[in-house]
Amino acid sequence: MRLKHGSRKAAVKSLVILISGRGSNMRALLDASLPCRVAAVISNRADAPGLEIAREQGIATRIVAHRDYPDRESFDTALAAAIDAHQPDIVALAGFMRILTPRFAEYYRGRLINIHPSLLPAYGGLDTHARALKDGVKIHGCTVHFVTGDLDHGPIIIQAAVPVLEGDTPATLAARVLREEHRIYPQAVRWLCAGSLSLDQAGRVHLNHVEQPGFALVAPGLE
């Protein structure tokens, strides 16, 4: 079919996923029938189980072992080279357990996203579920955000909240949050693929033509 003068078919955006372990959020992205192409899965660990999942689906894989590099900067340089070989529009961290340098985050500004198991800006870093339980919070959750040089404090794209139940342990709370991670991460990538969100000058995310329900989650429930 010949395109009319001045028109062209929109290019399908590409995605590179970074993992360090089993890759459950990677699997959620792969299973979501996203309107973009997963160009590669890259890990800093050769024994990451998620690599085999990607290979079974015919996705290119690459290992950039952090232990092969003397410092964070040289590792990030090698990692960026591996990513850029696939020319991705989006880079998604899916359980990638390395702290990236501010220079790396700035290089991929507006393209690098992460899923974090808390309602940021609360509980950045590790052990989020145990810390939330210790503090006695009643609502917990997860966040998809753009990655910046400020660890776990980049612009927020989407969040999901869950109630903290009586008798919860870090494991039971983590399982409830993980189910929501598997829902919101594909949604965030879908919006990016469709060009449905943008960053303003202040670093805030704006969603274009996205309906936002106005209901509240109250936990424990009202009587």
> Beta strand 60-63 with 112-116: parallel, antiparallel or unpaired?
unpaired
6: pLDDT strictly greater than 80:
no
pLDDT recorded at residue 7: 40
pLDDT recorded at residue 200: 85
Q: Which of 5, 116, 206, 209 is catalytic?
A: 116
Banded model confidence at residue 10, pLDDT cuts 50, 70, 90: low
pLDDT tens digit sequence for 40-86: 999 999 999 999 999 999 999 999 999 999 999 999 999 999 999 99
132: pLDDT strictly greater than 50:
yes
Q: Identify the structural domains of the chain with CATH numbers, from first to last.
A: 14-207 (3.40.50.170)
Q: Determine if the peptide bond prior to 102 is cis (ω within 30°).
A: no
For the question of residue 66 being annotated catalytic, the response is: no
